[in-house]
Amino acid sequence: MAQTTLNNDTKTTSQPIAHELAKKQKEVSVAEFFERNRHLLGFDNKRKALLTVVKEAVDNSLDACEEARIMPEIIVEIVEMGNDRFRVIIEDNGPGIVKKQIPNIFAKLLYGSKFHTMKQARGQQGIGISAAVLYSQLTTGRPTKIKSKISPKDPAHIYELRIDTSTNSPEIIKEEETIWNNKDHGVRIEMDVEATYQKGDQGVDAYVKQTAIVNPHATFIYTNPKAEQMIYPRASEHLPKEPMAIKPHPYGVELGILLKMVKQTEKRTLQAFLTEEFSRVGPGTAKEICENSSLDPRMKPEQLEHPHVEKLMEGIKKTKIIAPSTDCIVPIGEELLEKGLRKEVPAEFYCSVTRPPEVYRGIPFVIEVAVAYGGTQPGDQPARILRFANRVPLLYQMSACASNKAIIQTDWRRYGMSQSNGALPVGPMTLVVHLASVWPPFTSEAKEAIAHYPEIIKEMKLALQEAGRQLGSYVNKKRRVADQQQRINIFENYIPEVAAALADITGEKKEIITAAMRKMLEKNKEFIMRNQAQVQEVDSEGPSLGKSYEDDDEDVKEDGKE
């Protein structure tokens, strides 16, 4: 049918095909779009779906608690209901959500508080939790139940919500006031989802455990579908420093955004616009930008036409402006990161690195890396990788992640590991990579992997090299001590023979020679014992026995090339 009505090549007097095609052209609601593309949101299989639902809810709880400066206490409960269905319950002690915002927060995609604020948070786009609601209704048809209380004096509110996907708006199934005893404030979510539960590296158990590692200020009480309860009490009584919202940095602003800002500003002069709507632009810098752009600082922003804004962009590029403030980012810190890793991975050597802040597209970020080496970790397997972004564990899409690329491109053979070309290092090792940023660029809405921005990969590599050198130094020392031990053993075995021979030649008493040789040996043994205890602290050469050792490459130069 389509064949005949659409055929234009006949050039008859019938209507052009374009009219026929136009009938089908219409708007797609963002909820319909994600309903069909649910794998973009982390719902591509039943196992991952369970993780994603928990993750989105826990992310929000942690963000809300921290924003309200409350020590988080989060209850996660998953109940198996048979037939591949699970009830997921997440309860927090956060600030709660005001009644009128509940429907939009939970049942409207692209609605939230974090998109328009430039500071580090787990959530960013206002999609996550409503995506979970969408998945729940898609697979079980059930509405999501939300209870919220904002203060001891306010009543609690209960909502049952669905998303009307054709309009991307909340559908309120039930709405009532209630009393929530023993709770000053907080939110409780209950949703039914189709899912499967499995233990292992990519499951909810691993997620909660890893989340506890990088959020030592939070308490988690987790009950899995096997009714096993795991409690992770907080290990730190201090909330992380509060990240401060920042304004955009001039270097990160693109022409199109600048054009929009110039139109929307309420500032009266270009000078005021520059100093007040950007970070790191004081009056002096603003003046310099104007000079470099050949624009009058007293000009009204609304008078700036396209060519002026192009000149302004050029002027910004020519002006030296200090890097953005990093108050907006709060890394975990070397000490806490290493502490967390020690709790999780029993090993013999640990180290961690927090790099200074850097910038991609004008957006500040910090890379942190930690290594746990040895112990019972298998030596013939690729290193285990733990990835985090803004303190959230990333459990999927490893191969698409910037961190994977950075690890593969680092030469681990220098640090005593084996590694084939283009592959992960092999050795008894766990590697942690954390990206903290105002806006971590993810490869999809599911926030599973970090996009390949060259600035980010470069920083990751520098951090890995820094940790790698510490690791290499340890591994070399360990090898050297082992070599020395072996030499001593050989030497010890030959003492009687050598002593006899020396006695013959020198005429000295055999017993005296033997004693001298044993003394020499003891000295070396002491050195080795010291080294074995604290292998990584040995810095100077001890008394040497026999020939000199091979040069070790502890002080490998940093590979500046990218």
- Residue 453 Cβ vs its own copies, minimum distance, rounded to whole Å: 7
* C-beta of 41 vs 89, nearer to its own copies: 41
Q: Which of 113, 139, 114, 119 is nearest to 52 (CA)?
A: 139
Q: Return the C-alpha torsion angle 463, 469, 471, 474, nearest 10.
A: -160
**Span 321-350, contacts to its own copies by CB under 8 A:** none
Segment near its own copies (CB under 8 A); pick from 100-108, 276-284, 370-378, 482-490: 100-108
Alpha helices in 319-428 (DSSP H): 334-344, 402-409
SS (H, E, C) 220-239: EEEECCCCCEEEECCCCCCC
Q: Which helix (H) or strand (E) holds 72?
A: none
- Residue 44 Cβ vs its own copies, minimum distance, rounded to whole Å: 6
**What is the C-alpha separation between 90 and 75, in angstroms, rounded?**
6
Q: Which of 425, 338, 442, 430 is nearest to 389 (CA)?
A: 442
* C-beta of 190 vs 445, nearer to its own copies: 445
- Residue 511 Cβ vs its own copies, minimum distance, rounded to whole Å: 59
Segment near its own copies (CB under 8 A); pick from 23-31, 200-208, 504-512, 538-546: 23-31
- Report if residue 259 touches its own copies, rule: CB under 8 A: yes
* C-beta of 187 vs 517, nearer to its own copies: 187
- Report if residue 33 touches its own copies, rule: CB under 8 A: yes
- Residue 388 Cβ vs its own copies, minimum distance, rounded to whole Å: 19
Q: Which of 185, 249, 477, 478 binds its own copies (CB under 8 A)?
A: 185
Joined tokens for residue 312: 């302004």
Residue given tokens 């409207």 in the structure block: 108
**What is the C-alpha separation between 72 and 66, in angstroms, rounded?**
7
Backbone angles phi, psi at 145, to 5 degrees: -105, 130
- Residue 25 Cβ vs its own copies, minimum distance, rounded to whole Å: 4
* C-beta of 425 vs 441, nearer to its own copies: 441
**Exposed/middle/buried for 184, CB within 10 Å: 0-12, 13-18, 19+?**
middle
* C-beta of 116 vs 320, nearer to its own copies: 116
**Which residues, at least 6 apart from 233, have a Cβ–Cβ distance to it below 8 Å?**
219
User: Which of left, alpha, beta for 379 (phi over 0: left; psi -120 to 50: alpha)?
Assistant: alpha
- Residue 414 Cβ vs its own copies, minimum distance, rounded to whole Å: 22
Joined tokens for residue 466: 């820094």
**Inter-residue contact 110 to 125 (CB < 8 Å):** yes
- Report if residue 7 touches its own copies, rule: CB under 8 A: yes
The DSSP letter of residue 391 is: T
N residues, the chain: 562
Size of the site for its own copies (CB under 8 A): 95
**Span 391-420, contacts to its own copies by CB under 8 A:** 397, 399-400, 404, 420
Backbone angles phi, psi at 92, to 5 degrees: -125, 175
**Span 102-131, contacts to its own copies by CB under 8 A:** 104-105, 108, 110-113, 115-117, 125-126
- Report if residue 3 touches its own copies, rule: CB under 8 A: yes
435 beta partners: 367, 389
* C-beta of 151 vs 544, nearer to its own copies: 151
- Report if residue 170 touches its own copies, rule: CB under 8 A: no
- Report if residue 151 touches its own copies, rule: CB under 8 A: yes
**Span 438-457, contacts to its own copies by CB under 8 A:** 439, 441-445, 449, 451-454
Q: Which of 78, 107, 150, 417 binds its own copies (CB under 8 A)?
A: 150
**What is the C-alpha separation between 103 and 130, in angstroms, rounded?**
10
Backbone angles phi, psi at 363, to 5 degrees: -105, 125
- Report if residue 18 touches its own copies, rule: CB under 8 A: yes
- Residue 165 Cβ vs its own copies, minimum distance, rounded to whole Å: 7
- Report if residue 30 touches its own copies, rule: CB under 8 A: yes
- Report if residue 9 touches its own copies, rule: CB under 8 A: yes
- Residue 238 Cβ vs its own copies, minimum distance, rounded to whole Å: 13
**Inter-residue contact 332 to 340 (CB < 8 Å):** yes
- Report if residue 95 touches its own copies, rule: CB under 8 A: yes
- Report if residue 426 touches its own copies, rule: CB under 8 A: no
Alpha helices in 345-385 (DSSP H): none
* C-beta of 111 vs 350, nearer to its own copies: 111
User: Which of left, alpha, beta for 269 (phi over 0: left; psi -120 to 50: alpha)?
Assistant: beta
**Span 505-534, contacts to its own copies by CB under 8 A:** none
**Inter-residue contact 312 to 304 (CB < 8 Å):** yes
* C-beta of 1 vs 505, nearer to its own copies: 1
**What is the C-alpha separation between 561 and 419, in angstroms, rounded?**
19
**Span 283-322, contacts to its own copies by CB under 8 A:** 306, 309-310
The DSSP letter of residue 547 is: S
Segment near its own copies (CB under 8 A); pick from 16-24, 348-356, 530-538, 553-561: 16-24
Q: Which of 70, 323, 503, 521 binds its own copies (CB under 8 A)?
A: 70
- At 250, the amino acid letter reads P
* C-beta of 112 vs 216, nearer to its own copies: 112
Binding mask 208-247 for its own copies (x = CB under 8 A): ----------------------------------x-x---
- Residue 560 Cβ vs its own copies, minimum distance, rounded to whole Å: 21
* C-beta of 112 vs 472, nearer to its own copies: 112
- Report if residue 39 touches its own copies, rule: CB under 8 A: yes
CA distances to 89, 150, 228, 383 from 221, rounded to whole Å, are 11, 22, 11, 30
* C-beta of 104 vs 292, nearer to its own copies: 104
- Residue 480 Cβ vs its own copies, minimum distance, rounded to whole Å: 31
- Residue 459 Cβ vs its own copies, minimum distance, rounded to whole Å: 16
**Which residues, at least 6 apart from 80, have a Cβ–Cβ distance to it below 8 Å?**
86, 197, 225
- The SS3 assignment for 470 reads helix
